[in-house]
Amino acid sequence: MSVDNLVGRRRVLAGGGAAFLLAALEGCGQGILKSGRVDTSAPPLQPRLQLPPLHASPDRITRITVCTRPFRAEGPRLDLEQIGSKTIVHNYGHGGSGWSLSWGSSSIAAQKAMATGARDIAVIGCGALGLTSGLLLQRAGAHVTIYAKDLPPNVRSSLATGVWSPDSRICLEEHATPSFNALWENMARQSFLTYQTLLGLPGDPVEFIDTYGVRDDAERQTPPTPPADDRPPFADLQRKLIGDLIPNSEDFAPGTHPFGARYVKRYPMMMFNLTAYARLLMSDFLANGGKIEISEFHSPADFASLRQSTLINATGYGARALFGDESVIPVRGQLARMIPQPDIHYGLFYQHVSFIPRRDGLVFQVTGEDDYYGYDDAGTTPDRAEAEHAVNTIAGLYT
Ligand SMILES: Cc1cc2nc3c(=O)[nH]c(=O)nc-3n(C[C@H](O)[C@H](O)[C@H](O)COP(=O)(O)OP(=O)(O)OC[C@H]3O[C@@H](n4cnc5c(N)ncnc54)[C@H](O)[C@@H]3O)c2cc1C
């Protein structure tokens, strides 16, 4: 990964001594003589973080997308429901964690569907949860048909940020009971392991990047930020339950990185290049003999027209209307997409804005001060001002 570009200052100077680098090093005030030569009597210099600059400007925005996270205060719905002659296995309501938890959650749903004895199984929905449900059912020996109103790239899943975020708006803290925590941990660990099998593939559907959290002051931010008012906090499960999967972070003091007098923390992060990844899931599903039919269901009674008696319901936010489940709360999220920049393999987080270097288009996003940002907002009209604010905030790091 090209972001591991911690180049010793001595090595950089020996390799060319560009004036630009000298100027940068002088900013650190150590080991450089006024003549511009290296003071070899000085103690070894601290390595300096070198990162290729990002070309971030609003005129490079190619698309602004908005979508709603399917949040449920009590977490995803994974129970069985009998409707007429059909057994429905629910697999929806994953908030901001749907991609991250998909393999683990869909594995539970697939096991429940297989336990009915059926081997010809319908999956309703073709997003992150529907596709992984379909693939896992196939691996368990079932014939699978996906029925969905929309397919990637026209599903909500295709409008996600695309990072490993397994506890993002997954439930409220008050619902993170010991049994929910055990379920979540199982889903998260299983998904994490499955994602490791998807690294290194052509098109990089899944890859690790380094992300730099940038702060203006030395005070350490400990995410997640609790809500400023008396609303109940969201669950924070990752550090508590799967801390062993989180690699160590590394701090960079002012003067040892390209972002001026700021404080920087580097941490590795798993990223999903969703265009390539969704295509991979679709093509694997079809190559395994899976069928896809475009259908819209207006109520569960419409399932009577299907030949299959066992169904996995992976309709995401659509379950709110289809099943009248008002426990599904929309949490609006907007991405500004920008012309890809192939030499950028690092992410940034600064002043509540995130940047992800997706291969299928750079992603800028205002994340808000806490997880209530966008809560109960089903509006999907793009906000150009918000998009430009996201881009300009990140661009400001390079001035
Ligand atoms: C801005 C934003 C950023 C996000 N970032 C991340 C992230 O970085 N990492 C992460 O893990 N998660 C992230 N998420 C969350 C993630 O995108 C969702 O949890 C996930 O996409 C839900 O997937 P799904 O398959 O349940 O639903 P969907 O993708 O909405 O798929 C639902 C499927 O069901 C079909 N359907 C729905 N209703 C009907 C109906 N009545 N009849 C027929 N078909 C129907 C749809 O056509 C579609 O095929 C983000 C979400 C948002 C909004």
Atom of ligand 1 nearest to the CA of 151: 49
Q: Which residue has the least CA distance to atom 28 on ligand 1?
A: 127
Tell me, what's the pLDDT at 223? 56
Residues with CB under 6 A from ligand 1: 67-70, 92, 94-100, 124-130, 148-150, 155-157, 160-163, 165, 295-297, 314-318, 322, 333, 335
CA-nearest of 5, 98, 109, 101 to 47 is 5
Tell me, what's the pLDDT at 174? 97
Atom of ligand 1 nearest to the CA of 297: 42
Terminal CA-to-CA distance of the chain, rounded, Å?
25
Burial 183-212 (b: 16+ CB within 10 A, else e): bbbbbbbbbbebbeebeeeeebbbbbbbbb
- Two tokens, residue 20: 């630009």
Q: Which helix (H) or strand (E) holds 139?
A: helix 128-139
Q: Which residue has the least CA distance to atom 13 on ligand 1?
A: 96
Tell me, what's the pLDDT at 81? 98
CA-nearest of 383, 398, 382, 394 to 352 is 394
pLDDT in tens, the chain (399 residues): 333 333 232 222 222 223 322 233 333 334 444 554 545 555 545 568 999 999 999 999 999 999 999 999 999 999 999 999 999 999 999 999 999 999 999 999 999 999 999 999 999 999 999 999 999 999 999 999 999 999 999 999 999 999 999 999 999 999 999 999 999 999 999 999 999 999 999 999 999 999 999 999 876 655 556 777 889 999 999 999 999 999 999 999 999 999 999 999 999 999 999 999 999 999 999 999 999 999 999 999 999 999 999 999 999 999 999 999 999 999 999 999 999 999 999 999 999 999 999 999 999 999 999 999 999 999 999 999 999 999 999 999 998
Atom of ligand 1 nearest to the CA of 319: 38
* Widest distance between CA atoms in the chain: 85
Q: What whole-number distance in Å separates Cα of residue 293 and Cα of residue 198?
A: 27
Q: What's the helix, strand, coil split of the chain in %, to 5?
A: 30, 25, 45
Contact predicate 191/100, CB 8 Å = yes
Tell me, what's the pLDDT at 259? 95
Pairing of strands 328-338, 61-72: antiparallel
Tell me, what's the pLDDT at 3? 31
CA-nearest of 267, 279, 131, 153 to 204 is 279
Tell me, what's the pLDDT at 362? 98
Q: What whole-number distance in Å separates Cα of residue 368 and Cα of residue 365?
A: 9
Tell me, what's the pLDDT at 46? 52
Q: Which residue has the least CA distance to atom 38 on ligand 1?
A: 318
Residue with tokens 């395994």: 288
Name the DSSP letter for residue 382: -
> Sign of torsion, CA 34 37 39 44?
positive
Contact predicate 249/267, CB 8 Å = yes
CA-nearest of 333, 321, 325, 298 to 77 is 325
- Two tokens, residue 130: 């529907």
CA-nearest of 102, 114, 56 to 76 is 102
Beta bridge partners of 163: 271
Tell me, what's the pLDDT at 2? 34
Q: What whole-number distance in Å separates Cα of residue 261 and Cα of residue 354?
A: 20
Tell me, what's the pLDDT at 217? 87
Atom of ligand 1 nearest to the CA of 94: 19
Q: What does pTM read for this prediction?
A: 0.89
Tell me, what's the pLDDT at 1? 33
Tell me, what's the pLDDT at 333? 98
Tell me, what's the pLDDT at 6? 30
CA-nearest of 387, 154, 359, 334 to 272 is 359
Contact predicate 348/354, CB 8 Å = yes
* Ramachandran class of 384: left when φ > 0, alpha when ψ lies in -120 to 50, beta otherwise: alpha
Q: Give me ligand 1 centre to Cα 391, in Å.
A: 25
Q: Which helix (H) or strand (E) holds 89?
A: strand 86-90
- For a mutational test of ligand 1's pocket, the pick from 149, 198, 298, 356, i.e. the residue with the most ligand atoms closer than 8 A to its C-beta, is 149
Atom of ligand 1 nearest to the CA of 335: 1
CA-nearest of 393, 340, 376 to 68 is 376
Question: SS3 letters for 303-364?
Answer: HHHCCCCEEEECCCCHHHHHCCCCCEEEEEEEEEEECCCCCCCEEEEECCEEEECCCCCEEE
- For a mutational test of ligand 1's pocket, the pick from 64, 66, 68, 69, i.e. the residue with the most ligand atoms closer than 8 A to its C-beta, is 69
